[in-house]
Amino acid sequence: MKATLEAINQMQADGVIGKYAIGGAVGATFYLEPAATVDLDVFVTLPVTRGGLLSLQGIYDYLKTRGGKVEDEYIVLGGWPVQFLPSGNDLEQEAIAESVAIALEGVNTWVMKPEHLVAIALRTGRSKDHIRILQFTEQGAVDRKKLTDVLNRHGLTSKWEQFERKYLEGHL
């Protein structure tokens, strides 16, 4: 993981990406018991091109010249398949902006706060996302007041209420 994070940090230093934050299952492992995952989800702020379009091509071109290998939707860096995800909405932009600095294997990196990880998982809504949300709530790894604030800001309150009725009633 160290070489992967160093490559991402160098990419940021070289201006290929703006601020980034680790999300998904790897981001969750900073707050929960580690879970098996096949990739590293890196949410990024991208520089806007002349035409006003966002493109991942600059990331791929940059990393391929430095040993990165493209495999499906991933680029493999330091042995880790990495999926770069441009921040596509206000929630993801806020999650990147408010991410926390963490040192991993001696490398400084940015990780989303647990409340943003839960809100993004709720918005995504896959079965594995629901499982992760349950882990956060059952392990007390999320601040419920902060989570409520994030959910309110991003229009996810009714979706959270549905989730609570389905999965949490009688468990908290």
Closest listed residue to residue 109, CA positions, set 1, 5, 3: 5
List the chain domain ranges. 2-112, 116-168
Element containing residue 41 per DSSP (H, E) = strand 40-44
Check if the beta carbon of residue 167 is closer than 8 Å to that of residue 136: no
Per-residue pLDDT of the chain (172 residues; tens, 9 = 90+): 999 999 999 999 999 999 999 999 999 999 998 777 789 999 998 876 666 667 788 899 999 999 999 998 899 998 999 999 999 899 999 999 999 999 999 999 999 999 999 999 999 999 999 999 999 999 999 999 999 999 999 999 999 999 999 988 765 5
Element containing residue 110 per DSSP (H, E) = strand 107-111
Cβ neighbors of 50 (< 8 A, separation 6 or more) are none
Cβ neighbors of 83 (< 8 A, separation 6 or more) are 39, 40, 41, 42, 73, 74
CATH of 2-112, one of 3.30.460, 3.30.1120, 3.90.70, 1.10.357: 3.30.460
**Which pair of tokens denotes residue 148?**
């409520």
Strand partners, 101: 110
Q: What is the distance between the alpha carbons of residues 163 and 133, in angstroms, rounded to a whole number?
A: 9
Looking only at the bridges linking them, the beta strands covering 69-71 and 74-77 are antiparallel
Strand partners, 83: 41
